[in-house]
Amino acid sequence: MSERIFSGIQPTGNIHVGNYLGAVKNWVQLQEKYDCLFCIVDYHSVTVAYDPEGLEERVLDATATNIAAGLDPEKSIIFAQSLVPEHTELAWLLTCLTSVGALERMTQFKEKAARQESIFAGLMNYPILMAADILLYKAGLVPVGEDQLQHLELSRDLARRFNSTFREYFPEPKPLLTSGARVMGLNDPSSKMSKSLEGSYIGLADEEDLIKQKIRRAVTDPGPQGGKMGPGVANLFTLLEGFADPDVVNYFKRQYAQQSLMYSELKESLAAAMNTKIAPIREKRRELLAKPEKVKDILYAGAEQARQIAQRTMSEVRQLMGFRI
Ligand code: TRP
């Protein structure tokens, strides 16, 4: 059996090309070689203020979009966290092994807490739930972006603490740093592409006209800046490399080097290349969401498979921790 990979996907709408090039595209390849679990982390999504009425829709949207982009329920286990109660069960037991200080030092917690009026324990305990997600399946590799490395380090610490307190049991999960591109905002190339800023992102659900319009409005630079490419143009090249054929990329790179690049031409080709790749994803997503019951069935079937592994782990963990009645 190949090594196991676990990754958590936040249930959000507006999954964009930054998510695609930075993460999803990579997962699609990983599922060919590894035993993969992809979990829609709905319990993580309630650690900040949220709308309960929209939660189901967000879970279905994230599931459908990721499947449309290539995650394959035949190859990987795709499920929702809230369908496998062992996640919260293990999270509680790990909570009892976690020092409050370590949680308070988490960069993401500090940033999010600074924006809250009252800070709930769930926001602080977020990384413990993430550790439970991973350890429940004894995953050896976790594909993450830079921003999750500190959380993953806590998962490793908890595995080590469990092993030294009770018995050698959990493997220490290693990060698989996504080699994917870091895509910046179209309207502000100094910050990451974001789904909450209109004009910043191109969604995998966006129609052709909207793609063209957003690319046309993307920030460029007045020209080569002292021999160094400006961030707006560099971002357009990142996208071009992600979506266009290599000869198209090379053509525009030559144009740039010869200082004869026309931004309008670059943008037109980029929008066309993006639409070619996005159109089938957009269609497949639409088809899936037209039958939400089918999407739910995928999540239920995935949860059943996940649960078999999770239950085995939990029964061993209960034994090891002394819950034997
Ligand atoms: N915290 C991750 C994020 O925001 C999502 C996540 C939850 C996750 N559980 C995980 C990622 C387990 C990897 C493994 O992106």
**Can you spell out the DSSP letters for 193-223?**
--TTSTTT--BTT--HHHHHHHHHHS---SS
Inter-residue contact 8 to 94 (CB < 8 Å): no
The ligand 1 atom nearest the CA atom of 10: 5
At 227 the pLDDT is 67
At 226 the pLDDT is 64
**Residue 275 clears pLDDT 80, i.e. is over it:** yes
At 143 the pLDDT is 95
Cβ burial of 113 (10 Å; 0-12, 13-18, 19+) is middle
For residue range 212-233, what is the model confidence (pLDDT) as tens digits? 999 999 999 755 556 688 999 9
Residue 80, helix vs strand vs coil: strand
- Cβ within 8 Å of residue 62, ≥6 positions away: 9, 10, 11, 12, 13, 15, 40
| Cα(182) to centroid(ligand 1), Å | 18
At 126 the pLDDT is 97
Inter-residue contact 22 to 183 (CB < 8 Å): yes
Using pLDDT thresholds of 50, 70 and 90, give the confidence band for residue 281: very high
Instruction: Please report, for residues 5, 6, 59, the alpha-carbon distance to residue 316 in angstroms, rounded to integers and kept in the order given.
Output: 21, 20, 30
| Cα(8) to centroid(ligand 1), Å | 4
Sheet containing 4-9, strands listed edge to edge, beginning at the edge strand earlier in sequence: 77-80, 35-40, 4-9, 141-144, 174-177
Which H/E stretch holds residue 118? none
Query: Which residue intervals of 137-262 are DSSP H helices?
Result: 149-165, 208-217, 231-243, 246-257
Give strand pairing partners of 78.
38
Which protein residue's CA is at the shortest distance from atom 6 of ligand 1? 8
Which one-letter amino acid corresponds to residue 41? V
For the chain, residues classed under CATH 1.10.240.10 are 208-286
Which one-letter amino acid corresponds to residue 297? D
Which protein residue's CA is at the shortest distance from atom 7 of ligand 1? 8
Q: What is the mean pLDDT of residues 293-300?
A: 98
At 189 the pLDDT is 94
The ligand 1 atom nearest the CA atom of 127: 1
Q: Which residues sit with their C-beta closer than 6 Å to ligand 1?
A: 6-8, 10, 41, 44, 130, 133-134, 142, 144, 148, 151
Ligand 1 pocket test target in 47, 84, 144 with most atoms within 8 Å of CB: 144
| Cα(53) to centroid(ligand 1), Å | 23
Of 241, 210, 280, the closest CA to residue 69 belongs to 280
- The average confidence (pLDDT) of the chain is 95
At 301 the pLDDT is 98
For the chain, residues classed under CATH 3.40.50.620 are 4-180+292-321
- For 77-107, b/e burial (b = at least 16 CB within 10 A) is bbbbbbbbebbebbbebbbebbeeeebeebe
For residue range 92-127, what is the model confidence (pLDDT) as tens digits? 999 999 999 999 999 999 999 999 889 999 999 999
Annotated active-site positions, please? 112, 192, 195
Structure tokens at 149: 């490395």
Which protein residue's CA is at the shortest distance from atom 8 of ligand 1? 8
Spatial distance between the Cα atoms of 96 and 137, rounded to a whole number of angstroms: 20
For residue range 165-188, what is the model confidence (pLDDT) as tens digits? 999 999 999 999 877 778 999 999
Spatial distance between the Cα atoms of 3 and 137, rounded to a whole number of angstroms: 11
Structure tokens at 168: 């050698």
The ligand 1 atom nearest the CA atom of 130: 9
Percentage, residues of the chain above pLDDT 90? 90
For residue range 252-273, what is the model confidence (pLDDT) as tens digits? 999 999 999 999 999 999 999 9
Spatial distance between the Cα atoms of 241 and 224, rounded to a whole number of angstroms: 19
Which protein residue's CA is at the shortest distance from atom 4 of ligand 1? 10
At 100 the pLDDT is 97
Inter-residue contact 244 to 269 (CB < 8 Å): yes
CATH architecture of the region 208-286: Orthogonal Bundle (1.10)
| Cα(227) to centroid(ligand 1), Å | 39
- Cβ within 8 Å of residue 38, ≥6 positions away: 7, 9, 27, 66, 71, 76, 77, 78, 79
For residue range 32-86, what is the model confidence (pLDDT) as tens digits? 999 999 999 999 999 999 999 999 999 999 999 999 999 999 999 999 999 999 9
Which protein residue's CA is at the shortest distance from atom 10 of ligand 1? 8
| Cα(138) to centroid(ligand 1), Å | 15
The ligand 1 atom nearest the CA atom of 143: 13
**Residue 191 clears pLDDT 70, i.e. is over it:** yes
Topology, domain 4-180+292-321:
Rossmann fold (3.40.50)
At 177 the pLDDT is 87
